[in-house]
Amino acid sequence: MNQLAQSTIGTSAAMSIDVEDWFQVQNLSGSIPRDSWDTQERRVEQNTRRMLEIMHRTGARSTCFVLGWVAERHPGLVREIAAAGHEVASHGYGHELIYDIGPDRFREDIRRAKRLLEDIVGRPVVGYRAPNFSITDWAIDILAEEGYTYDSSSFPVVAHDRYGRLTKGGNGQVVYEVAPGIREVCVSSLKVVGRDIPWGGGGWFRLFPYGVFQAGVDRIAKSGQPYVFYIHPWEIDPGQPRVRCARRSHGWRHYMNLHKCADRWERLLRSRSWCAIEDLLSAPPQGSQ
């Protein structure tokens, strides 16, 4: 166990980063064809390195769900993530919505990403997060068959236009066994006026005033359940290229408050101790002796 991992033992707040580039985001997919990705300006290295520096300053450890497409073109960045003491996990290879590609292509995608990442870091890669949280029941079974031991793609919230949904929920538990040999680690939500809304990062983190968001995090922490947060490298990059989206709401979601996000994130990191998801899973259940 590395020194950073040792320092976060017992922490019940898990930080996660979905390592993908700005042009791979679903909100921009209608304006940036997949076959043009290699022609786009790549900014994932500089943004991820900035995040590594912020985490070094604040003593935070994270799980980095690295997209295979990115890892293939930036293997040195993946090695830097691992060398800095963070967990490397899989975001799949091609950032395609699971329910759109079907079981066979999904298996090929996660197998390719796993082998690629393991070859780069020289250790097993056992965690997975679906693009846009597009998880399905059948995908969980395939993940287990392919050697993954946990998934962190479930967002137990009200209906969302792209999120998937699992039939087996955790009955209020953030971490639970979703199928034999594999556990689910839910991204955090907050109950507001009887409705569960996303409170684990993304656009919601950039939308609400920081104090409001932090109050929600504190409320979740007091419940005794782990808190799980996610962010992307492009979210701390207000200088990224601007693209006109077919739907105005998609552009608004993507570009909203990017100029504030890095400072907000560092403030959040300083508010408590943060661990990787693998640390959360290796810790004894809360309340045990």
- Whether the CB-CB separation of 286 and 224 falls below 8 Å is answered with yes
**11-32+41-282 is classed CATH 1.20.120.1730:** no
- Whole-Å CA distances, 179 to 143, 145, 154: 10, 11, 14
Average pLDDT of 150-165? Answer: 73
Q: What pLDDT shows up at residue 264?
A: 98
Is residue 167 scored above 90 in pLDDT?
A: no
Category of 162 on φ-ψ map: left (φ > 0), alpha (ψ -120 to 50) or beta: alpha
Share of the chain above pLDDT 70, in %: 90
**pLDDT top residue among 172 and 154:** 154
- What is the greatest pairwise CA distance in the chain? 55
Q: Give me the chain's average pLDDT, please.
A: 91
| Res. 287 pLDDT band, cuts 50 70 90 | very low
Average pLDDT of 200-217? Answer: 95
Provide the pairing of β-strand 189-192 with 175-179: unpaired
What are the tens digits of pLDDT across the range 262-273? 999 999 999 999
Is residue 179 scored above 80 in pLDDT?
A: yes
Q: What pLDDT shows up at residue 245?
A: 76
Average pLDDT of 11-30? Answer: 93
Q: What pLDDT shows up at residue 7?
A: 45
Q: What pLDDT shows up at residue 251?
A: 80
**pLDDT top residue among 166 and 131:** 131
Share of the chain above pLDDT 90, in %: 77
Distance of CA 242 to the CA centre of its chain: 23
